[in-house]
Every structure is written in C-alpha cells, then in structure tokens.
C-alpha cells in the first residue's frame, strides 16, 4: 500500500534536479516545477517513476511512496 504525500515547499531536496534545495541556482527548477511533475523525491533525492495522465500525474519513490498532482 502506498502513501500519498502532499508536496512540501520546504523539502530538503529539489524535486526537479535532486540537489539540496538550500543550494543556489534553482531559478530554472522553479520555472519547470510550474509545468512538469517532480522527477526526484524531495525527501531522499531518489529518482522517481513518473506517469503522466490526461488529468494529472503520479510520481512514485521506492522509499517514500506515491505523490499525485
């Protein structure tokens, strides 16, 4: 059974590039975040399995479960 997590704005890792969110240079990531689903888990920086649906997306981390949007 997977757990659905809310997207966390203050998460430690960037959802788009996987590096720590506290590092500078995430302007492009912020632009991509508005249009694309997350590619990396914000909790552990693992690459997620992403599926795009007509009504949204799902992204699954092997350790932290599924996120939807």
Q: Which range has the worst mean pLDDT, 4-8, 16-20, 28-32?
A: 4-8
pLDDT-based confidence at residue 25 (cuts at 50, 70, 90): confident
Q: Minimal CA–CA distance to 15: which of 41, 36, 35?
A: 41
| pLDDT, average across residues 16-41 | 91
pTM, two decimals, is: 0.76
pLDDT-based confidence at residue 17 (cuts at 50, 70, 90): very high
Encode pLDDT of 33-50 as tens digits: 889 999 999 999 999 999
pLDDT of 13: 94
Indicate the domain borders of the chain. 27-68
Indicate the burial class of 25 (C-beta count within 10 angstroms; 0-12, 13-18, 19 or more).
Answer: exposed
């Amino acid at each position: 059974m997977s757990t659905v997590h809310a997207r966390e704005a203050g998460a430690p890792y960037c959802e788009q590039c996987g590096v720590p969110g506290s590092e500078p240079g995430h302007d492009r990531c912020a632009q991509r975040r508005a249009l694309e689903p997350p590619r990396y888990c914000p909790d552990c920086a693992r690459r997620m399995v992403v599926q795009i649906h007509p009504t949204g997306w799902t992204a699954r981390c092997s350790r932290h479960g599924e996120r939807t949007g």
